[in-house]
Amino acid sequence: MTPLLRGLVVALAAGGAILGQAGCSNPTRPSPPPPTPALTLACPSAVVVGAAPEVPAPVTYPAPIPSGGTAPVSVKCSVPSGGAFAAGDTDVVCTATDSATPPHQASCVFTVSVRQEFTVEASRFLAFGDSITAGAVEYNDSVASILEIERDKAYPTVLRDLLAQRYPRQDISVLNAGYQGEPAGCALGASFCGASRISRVIDESRPHALLLLQGVIDLSEGGLSSVSQMLDGLKFMVRDARRRGVTHIFISTLLPQKPGSRAWAMDAIVPANARIRDLAASEGVYLVDAYAGMVGQEAIFIGKDGLHPTPEGYQALARIFFEAIRDRLETVVTTPGGVQRTLDVSAAGPHVEVGPQFRRPPVRLR
């Protein structure tokens, strides 16, 4: 190697050492940005609205909270906050959508429950009548017709349970004043009938409402010729109850019958019921059309003797009376002043319950 070439190699080596000491080595690449967190959506807890003044009810609920995803993120719900909710439970489905390409979505579900609270204008009921009111149960599967009074299956007992379930804040009572074998009107010279008994029963029980189902014994004894006796007895009982301060009077048509050992008045039932409907209209009392509600289902509702209901029949009869009472005497518990308001629960805690007194957290009504 020539002296010139050897000098050049030494110079290059020295330059490299200097560069290395100066930190001019190859630079490293920067770290990539962290990944975008997955999009999630948190819905509010269940919302319960008690004593809504009317339905559908407008309800304002806390906004669902999105996290993650690419901003901005939009949220839409199947029923918006402040929207109208029907009575019962409504599942609200909310979906968050971010701005990624393509966009990501996340969903959640919560329930809004709207309850209505009801009250009934009467709390003491008097069920007056014969063995059908007393609870004489007849079965279809027995070999012989064995008629027994079963108070737990009687329509007044079943009716009391229905009323208590519907109006839990009220002390509901239904007195069973059924008397087996008793006609509505007294035959000439007789004193055994509903018309002669009702005054004492009303004075002793002081009911708010009278439930009157009687007259089939009159027809069983005299057929069509006894319709006038039946009507006279029913009219006397209606007017006597009114004189004695009974506010609400319900009178029922007679039940349908089917062939059997005690179906002695099948031909008289329809014309007698037409007269009972006329009586209810003329006297201005509430009609309970038990015949219309049970006819065509005698095989299920009427027992082997053709006259007395089965347990299923008593359930149906109680339901018919219940619906008549509900339709005539029920009112909805409303907010003070009776003005419809937006139920705002948007600032409440994780489980929201809105309604009248003793509800927590408090509600802002606007």
How confident is residue 335, by pLDDT bands cut at 50, 70 and 90?
very low
pLDDT value at residue 362: 29
Average pLDDT over residues 86-109: 94
Q: What is the pLDDT of residues 197-225, one digit of tens each?
A: 999 999 999 999 999 999 999 999 889 99
CB proximity list for 169: less than 8 A, separation 6 or greater: 117, 119
Q: Encoding tokens for residue 306?
A: 């053709």
* Statement: residue 2 has pLDDT above 70: no
In angstroms, the Cα distances linking 103 to 63, 77, 124, 282 are 21, 17, 64, 71
pLDDT value at residue 209: 98
* Statement: residue 364 has pLDDT above 80: no
* Statement: residue 93 has pLDDT above 80: yes
- The residue with tokens 């010279």 is 189
Average pLDDT over residues 230-250: 98
Q: Encoding tokens for residue 63?
A: 């906004």
Residues 161, 167 contacting (CB under 8 angstroms): no
pLDDT value at residue 57: 86
Q: Which amino acid is at 198?
A: I
pLDDT value at residue 14: 53
Beta-sheet strand order (sheet of 364-365): 84-85, 57-60, 343-344, 364-365
Range in 125-134, 137-146, 320-329 with the lowest mean pLDDT: 137-146
Report the distance separating Cα 355 and Cα 362, nearest Å.
9
- CATH superfamily placement of domain 120-331: SGNH hydrolase (3.40.50.1110)
* Statement: residue 318 has pLDDT above 60: yes
Q: What is the pLDDT of residues 71-87, one digit of tens each?
A: 999 999 999 999 999 88
Q: What is the pLDDT of residues 141-196, one digit of tens each?
A: 865 566 889 999 999 999 999 999 999 999 999 999 999 999 999 987 788 999 99
Angle between helices 155-166 and 311-329 (to 10 degrees): 40
- Percentage of the chain exceeding pLDDT 90: 69
pLDDT value at residue 339: 32
Assessment of whether the complete model's pTM goes beyond 0.85: no
pLDDT value at residue 203: 98
Most confident of 164-173, 334-343, 350-359: 164-173
Three-state SS string over the chain comes to: CCHHHHHHHHHHHHHHHHHHHCCCCCCCCCCCCCCCCCCEEECCCCEEECCCCCCCEEEECCCCEEECCCCCCEEEECCCCCCEECCEEEEEEEEEECCCCCCCEEEEEEEEEECCCEEECCCEEEEEECHHHHCEECCCCCCCCCCEECCCCCHHHHHHHHHHHHCCCCCCEEEEEECCCCCCCCCCCCCCCHHHHHHHHHHHHCCCEEEEECCHHHHHHHHHHHHHHHHHHHHHHHHHHHHCCCCEEEEECCCCCCCCCCCCCHHHHHHHHHHHHHHHHHHCCEEECHHHHHCCCHHHHECCCCCCECHHHHHHHHHHHHHHHHHHHEEECCCHHHCCCCEECCCCCCCEEECCCCCCCCCEEC
Per the model's pLDDT, the better-predicted residue between 351 and 281 turns out to be 281
Average pLDDT over residues 276-290: 98
> Which residues belong to CATH 3.40.50.1110 in the chain?
120-331
| Cβ atoms < 10 Å from Cβ of 268 | 23
Q: Encoding tokens for residue 136?
A: 């004489």
The full length of the chain comes to 366
Average pLDDT over residues 115-134: 94
How confident is residue 15, by pLDDT bands cut at 50, 70 and 90?
low
* Statement: residue 132 has pLDDT above 60: yes
Q: Which amino acid is at 194?
A: G
Residues 120, 330 contacting (CB under 8 angstroms): yes
Q: What is the mean pLDDT of the chain?
A: 86
* Statement: residue 274 has pLDDT above 60: yes
> Which residues belong to CATH 2.60.40 in the chain?
40-117+334-365
Average pLDDT over residues 252-270: 95
Report the distance separating Cα 142 and Cα 320, nearest Å.
27
pLDDT value at residue 148: 86
- The residue with tokens 């059309």 is 289
Residues 154, 239 contacting (CB under 8 angstroms): no
CATH architecture of 40-117+334-365: Sandwich (2.60)
